[in-house]
Amino acid sequence: MNFKSSKVLSVGVGLMLVACGGGGGGASGGTVTAANAARGSGGQIITNASGQAVSATANQHFERGTAAFRQHDEANNGRGDWNEGACNEVAGMFETAANAQPNGAFPEAWFNRAMAFERCSMRDRVREALERSIRAARGNKYCRAQTQLGVIQARAGQTEPALSTFQRAITDDANCVEAYTNAAAILRERNRPGVGSDPGDRQQAVNYIRQALARDDRHLPALNQLALVYLQDAGDDPRSQRLFLAGIVCSQAIQVATSNASEIPAEIRSYVADVYNTWGLVNIKIGQIIRALENFRRASTLNPNLFEAFVNYGTINLNFRGYEEARGAFARAVELRPNDYDAHIGLGVALRGLGQTAPAQAEYERARTLDGNRPDAFYNLALLNMSYMGNQPDDLRRAIGLFEQFQQKANTSGNPGRYANELSRTTRHINNMRQAITALEAAAAMNAANNAAGTGTPAADAGAAPASGGADAGAAATGGGGG
């Protein structure tokens, strides 16, 4: 199972409005004046993303929605307590705020309505609200909403359309930091080993990151992407200077977040967790396992919804047979992404290590239903039948069948070298089990003959069933996704 890096980033809700000096300016329809405009603590008029004055009534509804959004996000120690009712209620608050603005010209409110629906994966309503947010903006150009549409495409596997959406957002708004960062993330992922190797992608990714940081040198997602570029550049060389640079960028990002905490929006500060996750990946590369474990733990503590941190924390614990810690981490990962193949495999291995055979089997079977072509579930099911199901001939025959399916799927996976160790073990296991089946059946026949003769003398011990193969019993098969 591979360690995972965070990829395309959600934009994050826009829970703040900007207060600017000057006169009323007026929104569409001209009904927001200096007399009825919302004002900040210093008396400045509050404006929306298009520079239009926000009415006091619209701002009051916006602040109510903001408070409710934060309350649901921060519940359960940051895990949130969102449900369909809460999502609809908060989304309704932002719709009310938007409609209190002349002609609904309040892109931030429509955007936050989309993000409330996003918390409950109400995809159609998310897209509808994002498109409304763009129409509400001057010139139909709103960086945050356009970027979030690209995020939705990327998460659906529509990589090239997502990249085009991010690039269009950059064309529409040269200061769209979020679009630069997400375009860089796609180009970096597209250029990672085993996927592709286009130097142009790497160069353009770095260019986009630099453009983002030139506009906001405290933008933690961009700093995190820069560290991931250096990490990727290092390849498998634990002495690469690029690993040193990746570690420095992570350290600087944490310092930026710490020293400027009051000036960085909360949704950007939340990406400190992603930085710690990346730092843990750097630690893994240079063999600092204990530091990696601590950084993954910090990441999962700071952001209880960061799927990658839980998978990475669980994977390290599996390698040290820390099955209980691994079980908790993978259980949370499955909770966050119920359809993630690797999370189910990891949870199954942890449960197997704890002796919970039936639940482990259920996790492997769930993974197999998610992707019947990946070899990992077959390998782990074979191990379970070989060493944990009673060591009877029928158990061993099932294990042999599963191992043979694993061999077939691994060899046709397009990257059989990824499973080289497991393929070697599989051949040995199959040979051992065939010998064990022959011995067990011979012993059973001898016992039956003795009983029929009335001697009652049991046959000699036919020998134990084959050993589980050492590391096989404690680690999932390789082949997990992720950076």
What is the arithmetic mean of pLDDT over 361-387?
95
State percent of the chain over pLDDT 90.
70
For the purposes of burial, counting CB atoms within 10 Å of the CB of 105, is it exposed (0-12), middle (13-18) or buried (19 or more)? buried
pLDDT tens digits, residue range 400-423? Answer: 999 999 999 999 988 888 899 999
Which residue matches tokens 């950076």? 483
Residue 22 clears pLDDT 70, i.e. is over it: no
Residue 26 clears pLDDT 80, i.e. is over it: no
Residues 6+ apart with CB under 8 A from 111: 13, 14, 129, 130, 133, 142, 144, 145, 148
Residue 198 clears pLDDT 80, i.e. is over it: no
pLDDT attached to residue 270: 84
The chain-wide mean pLDDT, for the chain, equals 87
pLDDT attached to residue 24: 38
pLDDT tens digits, residue range 64-82? Answer: 999 999 999 999 988 899 9
What is the arithmetic mean of pLDDT over 288-304?
95
Residue 281 clears pLDDT 50, i.e. is over it: yes
pLDDT tens digits, residue range 91-108? Answer: 999 999 999 999 999 999
pLDDT tens digits, residue range 124-182? Answer: 999 999 999 999 999 999 999 999 999 999 988 899 999 999 999 999 999 999 999 99
Q: How confident is the model at residue 453 (pLDDT cuts 50, 70, 90)?
A: confident
Number of residues in the chain: 483
Query: What is the C-alpha to C-alpha distance for residues 153 and 135, in angstroms, rounded to an integer?
Result: 19
Q: Are 246 and 227 in contact (CB under 8 A)?
A: yes
Q: Give the residue range(s) of CATH 1.25.40 domains in the chain.
A: 1-8+46-140
pLDDT attached to residue 237: 93
Q: How far apart are the first and last CA of the chain?
A: 11
**Long-range contact pairs involving 130-137 (C-beta distance under 8 Å, separation at least 24):** 132/98, 132/104, 133/107, 133/108, 134/107, 136/98, 136/104, 136/105, 136/106, 136/107, 136/110, 137/49, 137/50, 137/105, 137/107
Residue 358 clears pLDDT 90, i.e. is over it: yes
State percent of the chain over pLDDT 70.
88
pLDDT attached to residue 412: 93
Query: What is the C-alpha to C-alpha distance for residues 410 and 391, in angstroms, rounded to an integer?
Result: 25
Q: Which CATH class is domain 1-8+46-140?
A: mainly alpha
Q: How confident is the model at residue 49 (pLDDT cuts 50, 70, 90)?
A: confident
Amino acid at 134: I
